A and B are shown apart, each in its own frame.
Chain A
Amino acid sequence: MKELGRINNFYQDDKVMDACSIFGMMDTAGRRFSGKKVVEAIANMHARGNGLGGGFAVYGLYPKYANCYAFHLMYLSRAGQARVEDFLRQKFHMIYAEEVPTRPIPAIVNPPLVWRYFLEVKSEGTCGQREDDYIVDRVMEINTKIEGAFVFSSGKNMGVFKGVGYPEEIAEYFCLEQYEGYLWTAHGRFPTNTPGWWGGAHPFNVLDWTVVHNGEISSYGINRRHLEQFGYNCTMQTDTEVIAYAVDLLIRRHGLPVEMAARILAPPFWSQIERCSPEKQKIPRTLRQVYGNLLLNGPFTVIIAHQGEMIGLTDRVRLRPLTVGVEGSVLYLSSEESAIRLVCPDLDRTWIPIGGEPIIGSLERPFEPAVTARGTSDMAISNRGYAKISK
């Protein structure tokens, strides 16, 4: 068994420590657009990274294979590739496979081989397991057992591209200008160590969930121990991974709405809860009592995306930046406002959300011009009392 933690967290620190720039752009009307603006925006925050990691997630990427799981794999050896392809043929119907097109550039040195596979689950193959659990287990199997191979994207009609380099270099390397999607997220990384490992870059992915993250979760130790009780193997030893698993547990497995999940990861203070009327106290109090171990404490801004939805969230005292912009049906989330302004000078409006307030863009509720991004006013509790911001 290979030790992913050893690869990703070479020095075996408590967790991988890094900071970064993040950017997200979504057309809530579902129109697909190229990555040109996204790359421009994230490149504008060049100084927030240090060239040791960049990446992108694109949704609505593979309409031709929309019903297939699109696996992106990086290989360190041809032997690894052969073993994985054998494995994939055993476990799935392989509908199509190809090497991901790249363009050699001087900044990208010693890249791994990157392939993509479009897979369907065999009807008899899951042994009664839910299909999504089956996918997660197979991905874990490849990542922890097959030497020289790593799955870094495994959702439907979406894909992750990432590697060691500045994000604009990664974009150029993977020819991202050729792709279109209705939702893009991007990440430029500043790790404290020099892992030099492509799998360690963001976005982090499981199924069609992706996370780009700027922060350091001080509650990592207990978040991780809690998730381990539910069968999550935190092999990457990053707080980003913990966020992804927490979201997976809350939304996919426990069936909670995204607003509630956000209220668990960045809950209101007890004093705010107690200021509400008794009937309004019940939900937030119960959520904190039951899910206290999943509170993400310490500085973070995160953009979580899955099919049809993009969520921006900061920690409850907003120790890392997040700016929101809306123009027509397009929602922008960014570490810095300048990056949004660069690609969209005429925003309808822009604001800094309150700590712990989720900003949600959804295909189900597209923005109409001059209508605001949906905050959480419909939730029982908002963090409004803590830091008032005029919109």
Chain B
Amino acid sequence: MKTYLPPKFIAERDDSRCIRCEVCVNQCTFDVHSYDTEDDEIRSREENCVGCHRCVVFCPTQALTVRRSPLDYRENYNWRPEIIEDIIKQSETGGMLLTGMGTDKCYPIYWDHLVLNASQVTNPSIDPLREPMELTTYLGRKLDRVELGSAGLKTELAPQVKLELPVMFSALSYGAVSLNVQESLARAATEMGTLWNTGEGGLHPKLYRYGDNTTVQVASGRFGVHAQYLDIARVVEIKIGQGAKPGIGGHLPGEKVSVEVARIRMIPRGTDALSPAPQHDIYSIEDLAQLVYALKEATDYAKPVGVKIAAVHNSAAIASGMVRAGADIIVLDGLRGATGATPKIIRDNVGIPIELALASVDDRLRQEGIRNQASIVIAGGIRNSGDVAKAIALGADAVYIGTAALVALGCTICQQCHTGKCAWGICTSDLRLTKRVNPDIGARRLSNLLRGWSLELKDILGGMGINALESLRGNRLHLRGVGLTDTELEILGVRMAGR
């Protein structure tokens, strides 16, 4: 069938600069560039270009420019090019449209409508270059009070996990991403004193040594879950849902299930790895409690057990139930959360913005008097340390970053994760591509990112006259809203700027 899809990008080559080195030919995984030996010319099939910029970055003579192809449909606000092209794609394939990463739709980004406070005159700001500034965070179930006995403290706290900064790496499963990516994450997390997350893909033995900085996931497919997997971990996380695909299971296509991936996931090679939409032993809140306690039993009550859900309409009530079901950490993944593969229609239409979910869950747990009993971690669209500070002020104990971490490794958010052809070697199991991520360099890039953010967070705190993160946590007086409605302000629990 002749496709009616027009090319999305134009790849321009400055012939006076091109030295016919064929780097672009070799780097492109979408078969855009090819070398014609007879004419000694590099040609481009622009209809294949996804705009990932791999060729542009690696062209040694800067001969390449990739830019958007001007799509001069007749202007129509309702029938935008993307909508037209989605219909074209479906009429040619008859399937669901799959995509990768988080939604690119223009839902309000509340971080951009929240501003932070600083000290002036009546109290001094604190200079982090001269004074101690603390970002240390302990995740885990706390108590309302301590009790004293004759021999000092009678109180024993449930297991706590220390983070040097309130930023962790989000779940990225082996299979979805390569081992090199996971190794980069694990090493950076270890160096920076935070956690990375296995996702639902098991844990490669090569990474066991980073166990103290590893959160292992137990999800609906139970892939790669065994006694040693739980023993090695610092935190066990039950995954119920994900912001990029609330209510939807996972599907790792058989082509990505290589020998190694099959071994780690404990499934036959080349078979599709299907994670069911629900966990089939959790059809209700009391079932969740059973799994939480089964995992606690299996780990001798020595590790916090977290539960991750997608942020949806009734998150507050659901989260409250999760705490009562024994979850030590509540993870909320918002509308903008990313993934390796998801139905586009789900990604772009299901779930709620994380800022609103966070504010309402933190409020509800406080109203119920159970906020101390669980830490709140949020994920889905954290882009910089400003977002982190705002999330902490709204009430989060820590945040997850996924997309931001991948960008640090080279990702340009071209949304082709589901194709397995990632030209940056991140979201693929093709061994020819995975070696494009060098764990030595990857770990360095990720550590640098966290180091930069932690310096910025210290500056933000110091400016507010605060020298410990716990004094910002849930302290919404340090936030003001700009350009928000009364209802939005009420849900976020912040006042309008100027008030």
Contacts from A to B (Cβ < 8 Å): 12, 14-15, 17, 19, 192, 215-216, 218-222, 225-226, 228-230, 254-257, 260, 269-271, 282-283, 286-293, 295, 297-299, 316-317, 319, 386
- 6 tightest A-B contacts by CB? A221-B477, A297-B471, A219-B471, A292-B470, A221-B475, A222-B475
Residue of B nearest to A299 (CB): B123
Q: Is B124 an interface residue (CB 8 A)?
A: yes
User: CB distance A14 to B477 under 8 Å?
Assistant: yes
Please indicate the chain B residues that have their CB under 8 angstroms from the CB of A225 in the complex: 366, 474-475
0 or 1 for each of B461-487: is its CB under 8 Å from A? (1 = yes): 000111110111111111000000000
- B130 to chain A: closest CB distance in Å? 10
- A356 to chain B: closest CB distance in Å? 11
From the candidates B132, B144, B157, B466, name the one contacting A218 in the complex (CB within 8 A). B466
User: CB distance A297 to B467 under 8 Å?
Assistant: yes
Known: A221-B478, A260-B148. 8 other contacts (CB 8 A): A218-B464, A219-B471, A254-B145, A286-B157, A289-B157, A289-B160, A299-B465, A319-B126
For the complex, give the distance between the alpha carbons of A119 and B132 in Å: 49
From the candidates B157, B372, B468, B478, name the one contacting A295 in the complex (CB within 8 A). B468
For the complex, give the distance between the alpha carbons of A14 and B480 in Å: 11
- A260 to chain B: closest CB distance in Å? 8
Please indicate the chain A residues that have their CB under 8 angstroms from the CB of B145 in the complex: 254, 290
- B210 to chain A: closest CB distance in Å? 22
- B186 to chain A: closest CB distance in Å? 24
For the complex, give the distance between the alpha carbons of A14 and B155 in Å: 35
Please indicate the chain A residues that have their CB under 8 angstroms from the CB of B143 in the complex: 290
Residue of A nearest to B473 (CB): A222
Interface residues of B in 426-468 (CB under 8 A from A): 464-468
Given known A286-B146, A290-B146, contact A218–B123 (CB-CB < 8 A): yes
For the complex, give the distance between the alpha carbons of A228 and B493 in Å: 15
Interchain pairs with CB closer than 8 A, number: 113
Please indicate the chain A residues that have their CB under 8 angstroms from the CB of B472 in the complex: 219, 222
User: CB distance B136 to A270 under 8 Å?
Assistant: yes
From the candidates A12, A221, A255, A271, name the one contacting B476 in the complex (CB within 8 A). A221
User: CB distance B123 to A215 under 8 Å?
Assistant: yes
For the complex, give the distance between the alpha carbons of A217 and B122 in Å: 10
By CB atoms of chain B within 10 A, which of A192, A228, A271, A299 has the most? A299
User: CB distance A219 to B467 under 8 Å?
Assistant: no
Contacts from B to A (Cβ < 8 Å): 119, 122-124, 126, 131-132, 134, 136, 138, 142-148, 152-153, 155, 157, 160, 366, 369, 371-372, 464-468, 470-478, 495, 499
User: CB distance A289 to B142 under 8 Å?
Assistant: yes
Please indicate the chain B residues that have their CB under 8 angstroms from the CB of A271 in the complex: 132
For the complex, give the distance between the alpha carbons of A218 and B152 in Å: 31
- A232 to chain B: closest CB distance in Å? 13
Residue of B nearest to A220 (CB): B477
- B268 to chain A: closest CB distance in Å? 46
For the complex, give the distance between the alpha carbons of A385 and B476 in Å: 33
User: CB distance B153 to A219 under 8 Å?
Assistant: no
- A189 to chain B: closest CB distance in Å? 13
User: CB distance A295 to B124 under 8 Å?
Assistant: no
User: CB distance B123 to A256 under 8 Å?
Assistant: no
Residue of B nearest to A282 (CB): B153
For the complex, give the distance between the alpha carbons of A220 and B471 in Å: 8
Please indicate the chain B residues that have their CB under 8 angstroms from the CB of A316 in the complex: 467
For the complex, give the distance between the alpha carbons of A289 and B136 in Å: 10
User: CB distance A216 to B122 under 8 Å?
Assistant: yes
Please indicate the chain B residues that have their CB under 8 angstroms from the CB of A317 in the complex: 126, 131-132, 467
Please indicate the chain A residues that have their CB under 8 angstroms from the CB of B152 in the complex: 282-283
Given known A256-B146, A286-B157, A290-B145, contact A219–B466 (CB-CB < 8 A): yes
Please indicate the chain B residues that have their CB under 8 angstroms from the CB of A254 in the complex: 145-147
- B497 to chain A: closest CB distance in Å? 12
For the complex, give the distance between the alpha carbons of A290 and B372 in Å: 8
Given known A282-B153, A290-B157, A317-B126, contact A295–B470 (CB-CB < 8 A): yes
User: CB distance A218 to B465 under 8 Å?
Assistant: yes
- B276 to chain A: closest CB distance in Å? 37
Given known A221-B476, A289-B160, contact A297–B468 (CB-CB < 8 A): yes
Given known A286-B146, A297-B468, contact A269–B134 (CB-CB < 8 A): yes
By CB atoms of chain A within 10 A, which of B123, B126, B468, B474 has the most? B123
For the complex, give the distance between the alpha carbons of A192 and B467 in Å: 24
User: CB distance B134 to A270 under 8 Å?
Assistant: yes
- B123 to chain A: closest CB distance in Å? 4
Please indicate the chain B residues that have their CB under 8 angstroms from the CB of A218 in the complex: 119, 123, 464-466, 471, 478
- B150 to chain A: closest CB distance in Å? 13
User: CB distance B160 to A222 under 8 Å?
Assistant: no
For the complex, give the distance between the alpha carbons of A295 and B157 in Å: 19
- A8 to chain B: closest CB distance in Å? 16
Q: Can you name 8 A-B pairs with beta carbons within 8 Å?
A: A218-B464, A219-B472, A222-B475, A282-B153, A290-B372, A292-B468, A317-B467, A386-B132
For the complex, give the distance between the alpha carbons of A270 and B468 in Å: 10
Residue of B nearest to A316 (CB): B467
User: CB distance B148 to A255 under 8 Å?
Assistant: yes
